[in-house]
Structure 1
Amino acid sequence: MTQVDFHILSVQQFDEAALYVCRLAEKAWRAGHQVLIHCDDAWMTPIDELLWSYRPESFVPHGLLSDGLAPVNISSQHACGEHHDVMINLSHDQPTSFSRFNRVIEVVFAEDRLKAVKRSHYKFYQERGYPLKSHPM
């Protein structure tokens, strides 16, 4: 069964949350996991660009899922390609393919609409018996 973790950030802005997502994706990739970052359309390009530049000394092999499979992919679509290991969900949407992943990390930051949506995600997972953990950051 999919393990679901909620990483609750104290940051206010998308840019700060995006930095956290990049660090999290790099950590998971370095630990040997394949990662799918699921985000809203408007956030795909900023996250893609940030993965190239957020730490000059690091390299995270990544790309848009629509361009082909990579160790770290970014997508706003519900399709997840061949991914099944770790999903980082920064999207307002709850991806329909979440249950094929070993682990889903729901990233929450202080955007009012996002917080409300993530609460509904939590309730959805809880009602279906998924193992849940919350991590205030």
Structure 2
Amino acid sequence: MAKISFYLFEKSPERRVQSTCRLCRKISKQHAKIWIYCADVDTQQQLDDLLWEFDPSSFLAHGIDQDTAPICISARLPNASEWIVFNFNNQALEQVAQFSHIIEIVENDELAKQLGREKYKTYRRLGFTPQTFKL
């Protein structure tokens, strides 16, 4: 069964792209494949730029629409189930069972929190119990 994790920023002003980079660094040490599902081209470029410069001591190999890279940023979902998927879109992923792990990052602002609550409800309706990590 797929795992769903919500990272909820209650007090931190950290942006979703920065927290994604931090989590990617941590997850990539476990040699997991990471897919950042993001339809917004500007956000894709922000992620691409930040992954280049995020950690000066180690490069996070990645690419936009490069499904052979350990970290892929794309407006489409992956075809294989071994990916850990960061969902940057405004709706929950209905195809939950297709992936090993879905990560939702909720920034500390009202709109993000409202979208996060709706996503959480959708996952529950689909029969999943997401884990929440408050940061």
Q: TM-score w.r.t. structure 2 length?
A: 0.86
**Percent of aligned positions that are identical:** 25
| Corresponding position of 2:64 | 64
| Corresponding position of 1:43 | 43
| Corresponding position of 1:107 | 105
Deviation at 1:40, TM superposition (A): 4.4
| Corresponding position of 2:20 | 21
Alignment partners' CA distance in 1, 2:62 and 2:94: 22
Alignment partners' CA distance in 2, 1:26 and 1:134: 20
Alignment partners' CA distance in 2, 1:62 and 1:98: 23
Residue identity matched to 1:3: K
Equivalent positions of 1:83-102 (< 5 A) are 84-102=82-100
Q: 1:83 to 1:37 in 2, by over 3 A?
A: farther
Q: 1:94 to 1:125 in 2, by over 3 A?
A: closer
Q: 1:120 to 1:112 in 2, by over 3 A?
A: same
| Corresponding position of 2:6 | 6
Alignment partners' CA distance in 1, 2:57 and 2:117: 36
Q: 1:128 to 1:81 in 2, by over 3 A?
A: closer
| Corresponding position of 1:130 | 128
Q: How many residues are aligned here?
A: 133
Give yes or no for contact 1:61–1:70 (8 Å, CA) kept in 2.
yes
Residue identity matched to 1:122: Y
Moved more, 68-77 or 46-55: 68-77
Alignment partners' CA distance in 1, 2:108 and 2:4: 20
| Corresponding position of 2:29 | 30
Taking only aligned residues, the RMSD between alpha carbons, in angstroms, comes to 1.9
Give yes or no for contact 1:12–1:110 (8 Å, CA) kept in 2.
yes
Q: 1:81 to 1:61 in 2, by over 3 A?
A: farther
Alignment partners' CA distance in 2, 1:131 and 1:94: 13
| Corresponding position of 1:74 | 73
Q: 1:125 to 1:136 in 2, by over 3 A?
A: same
Alignment of 1:55 with 2:26, yes or no, is no
Q: TM-score w.r.t. structure 1 length?
A: 0.85
